[in-house]
Structure 1
Amino acid sequence: MGGAGDQTLENATGVGAPPTTWPRAELVVDVPHTAVYGFVTGAVADSLAARHGPGPGERPAARRPGRHAGFGPLPREDGHGR
């Protein structure tokens, strides 16, 4: 775990100091690292989500574009199985 993950674990166990009390040198390393980690994680999640086309909630919307009352989600058996 890096920076923010460690800090979260430390705060949850009661042994960590809040980031506002960290020395500037640690913040200079941690803040960019956390930003890069967040962007990369988001990009990987987006690419994995897009691999199989629209998800179960998007397929009914594609069949009937626009907002319509009474048009619910697909039945469970028509969605992606696990």
Structure 2
Amino acid sequence: MLTRAVRQGLAAGLAGAVVMTAAEKVEQRVTGRPDSYVPARVLARLTGLPESSGQQPRWQNLAMHYGQGALVGVLRSVMAQAGLRGAWASTMFTALRLTNDQILENAIARCTSSSTRSPPERWPTRSPLVTARARGSGTRRCAPVATQMSVHCPGRQ
């Protein structure tokens, strides 16, 4: 079961990350918000890669963004395998997804001399809503993929 959950979760997480990326790009066009390089900075700090000031390498941003999506997709798949499905499970997973971001971005920042991002309560007024909406779009797309895959598991009632 665990091997299946990992495979299915990686696929579901990547699907969710694709949808989340598309939703963020639409939001950026509407609001004029620039690209965020926080994922690249977190990846650089986690791996010891050099950080540059300002714009980070795009590959680092994409690697962290899609890698993190795939990994948390495994958690969503395990939730579906355990019977946690539907709107309530998706809401729980959205909270987990946002918490995951904050843990990585703020815990890594505490290990270095500078911060990558401030806590949500210090964000500009619309920022938490925009972030939650974007993460929610990805988690809502990841959930049906994970659930559908778990329903078709041999031996699962």
Query: TM-score of the superposition, structure 1-length normalised?
Result: 0.50
Higher relative contact order (CA 8 A, sep 6+): 2
Higher Cα Rg: structure 1 or 2? Answer: 1
Tell me which protein shows more helix as a share of its residues: 2
